[in-house]
Structure 1
């Protein structure tokens, strides 16, 4: 069977989509190549037509997922003012985001694995985080507040995902969100 000229790139993108979602949901280190390929309907052997190694796939996932997070959280192409930032906080610090890691932000989901990755992956993560921090700093008028806000958001999501009951998850994200919004209002 003959494939279209774009088939390989389309398959690579499907693999990145699927692998990113699986990695955010259950961790990348625990995902085997065969399982990642099966999720897109291919054999494990076909993996090497798209990536030289599992580490190369992880690097591509990190770059792609963090760039998507930055685009959403920094409101690329739109004016990021305090009102938009507050609306973003309400979406980010929500029970639905806690419970659906596969569709959410890669920072809290993959942060620990990124921290153990090689320098190029960590540099890619740093570049994305700095881009987000700079966008938030403009909206907040403070680079330090932007870093603190980012750390608070990620930390709250990680804590909420650590607990078993929705009641406690909700308490964590709502109290964190309300605290951050009060801080924004004080500025």
Structure 2
């Protein structure tokens, strides 16, 4: 039976959604094509109708996840403000985000695998990071502060997810959030 082009695209999007969640939860390299396809109700053989290799799927997942993260955390617009940045930080550095690995930021979940990926994946990652950093740098009037803020967020989330006890996880995100919000208040331009 022949499927429409829209069916193929819908299946591809379902595969990206499902594979992205699985990769962030379990690690991409540890999951086989058959398991990724089974999650969307297809056979492993159908995979090659959508991607030429598992590496191509990984590149598509990284591109999609980082684009979505950059849009949520700092899409360039006239309405991006310190208040919006503070709300982004509060959502990012929260227990809910720590617990939602599958639906959360891909950087702490897939960062080590991205670092080992081919140059094209690392370049697309860098582009997404630079887009976010530029928005934050413009708001903060500092390239260095924007990189430090981004690094603190990712590092805190990663450390919290690595910790076994809820108490430690909560302490990490709470203290990091308080530190960053205090810094933003201190760095705010005088009215």
Quickly name the TM-score band, shorter chain normalised. over 0.9
Partners of 2:68 and 2:128 lie apart in 1 by: 9
Matched, 1:119 2:119: yes
Structure 1 residue 104: Cα displacement: 0.6
Matched, 1:185 2:185: yes
Find the counterpart in structure 2 of residue 14 from structure 1: 14
TM-score calculated relative to the size of structure 2: 0.95
1:165 aligns with 2:147: no
1:62 equivalent in alignment to 2:45:
no
Unaligned runs of 5+ in 1: none
For normalisation by structure 1, the TM-score amounts to 0.97
Shift of 1:109: 0.9
- Cα gap change, 1:53 to 1:161, in 2 (>3 Å): same
Matches of 2:78 and 2:46, distance apart in 1: 40
Aligned residues: CA RMSD? 1.0
Aligned to 1:80: 80
Instruction: Measure the CA separation in 1 of the matches of 2:78 and 2:33.
Output: 38
Distance 1:36 1:69 in 2: 22
Runs of 4+ in 1 over 3 A off after TM superposition: 75-78
Partner of 2:27: 27
Secondary structure of the corresponding residue to residue 102 of structure 1: coil
May I ask how many residue pairs the two structures share in their alignment?
A: 187
Q: Flag structure 2 segments of 5+ consecutive residues without an equivalent.
A: none
1:77 is displaced (CA, Å) by 4.5
Partner residue, 2:134: 134
Q: Who is 1:143 aligned against?
A: 143
Q: In the TM superposition, what are the counterparts of 1:95-106 in structure 2 within 5 Å?
A: 95-106=95-106
